[in-house]
Amino acid sequence: MSDETHDSRPPHRGLKKGLYVIPTLFTAANVAMGFLAVMFSIRGYHASFGDPQGAASYFNAAALAIGLAILFDTIDGRVARATRTATEIGVQFDSLADVLTFGIAPTALVYAWSFGGIYADGSLAHNVGTFLLFAYLMCGAFRLARFNLQATRPVKLEEGATKVDKKNFVGLPIPPAGGLLASIIHFSPLPLSFYGAESGQYYGYALMALIAVLGILMVSKIRYSSMKTAGAGPQGILLVVLIAGLAMFVYFYSRYALLAISGIYVLHGLIWWVFRALTVKRSSGESKTA
């Protein structure tokens, strides 16, 4: 009896099983970037007291690691959907990776770059900045937990909750929130203490306000475009050209490009929410007068 008669396995079974590993590898790369970002932040914090330029190189490396993690996080989801290899454990693993890379890593980086060097331990500003970083982390973790519930129970989570819309996220996703913080540090990687005590503290107050806003946006019900349907249909070629142009922009002017891209994404949901609120209010006012 030949070997062919003994081999009753379906064709390409091994290949199909191997496809499940690909999204996991990108998620693992996401975790690795978050781990490196934390390590670079620690090194940068120690260097900031005696070698600001050396500290800037570490902070910049940490910020770029978070930026690469966003790329890996985007790819793993698209690969899983394209190959139909999305699994429940993959969803949970991806969320845990996001807590590290876009929650813990940015808070460690921001603290090492700013609050840890410009405010005295135990001072009111230091305590408030630390609390806001913790609140940002908690908001991001809550946002991910809510997203997982919506993915597993898509019809109704609670009384008054809306149905899941695949074209939009409910609340600001944690990757662009962490990406905005990282892009700010990539734009100006020198520690805030380098700019002097007074200027550094004023910058720190502005950073506190931004962190508070990002935390609120993550737990809000403001809708943000998911980009999951981008490229479908005849717009695919236009999307490829746009991505190529953005890639060139990032390659040559990464400091400005990454800050602009992350800032525009964070703002677009808020602007669209305000626009819709004004439109609904105006239409309701017109209907009453009519």
57-106 pLDDT tens trace: 999 999 999 999 999 998 887 777 777 766 778 778 888 999 999 999 99
Mean pLDDT of the chain: 84
Tokens of 90: 């993959």
CB-based contact 222:172 (threshold 8 Å): yes
Write the CB contacts of 100 (distance below 8 Å, at least 6 apart in sequence). Answer: 31, 34, 35
Distances (CA, A) of 90 to 22, 148, 165, 199: 11, 11, 20, 45
What pLDDT score does 5 carry?
47
> Please, which pLDDT band fits residue 159 given cuts at 50, 70 and 90?
very low
What pLDDT score does 62 carry?
97
Does residue 17 surpass a pLDDT of 90?
Answer: no
| Domain boundaries defined on the chain | 16-230
Q: Which of 72-86, 182-196, 231-245, 266-280 has the lowest mean pLDDT?
A: 231-245
> Please, which pLDDT band fits residue 249 given cuts at 50, 70 and 90?
confident
Arithmetic mean of pLDDT, 147-167? 59
What pLDDT score does 64 carry?
96
Name which CATH class applies to 16-230. Answer: mainly alpha
Q: Which of 41-50, 126-135, 213-222, 225-234 has the lowest mean pLDDT?
A: 225-234
Does residue 261 surpass a pLDDT of 50?
Answer: yes
What pLDDT score does 78 carry?
77
Q: What percentage of the chain exceeds 70 in pLDDT?
A: 80
Q: What pLDDT, in 10s, does the model give residues 28-40?
A: 999 999 999 999 9
Does residue 6 surpass a pLDDT of 60?
Answer: no
Does residue 285 surpass a pLDDT of 90?
Answer: no
- Angle between helices 124-152 and 88-99 in degrees, nearest 10: 170
> Please, which pLDDT band fits residue 2 given cuts at 50, 70 and 90?
very low
Backbone angles phi, psi at 84, to 5 degrees: 55, 45
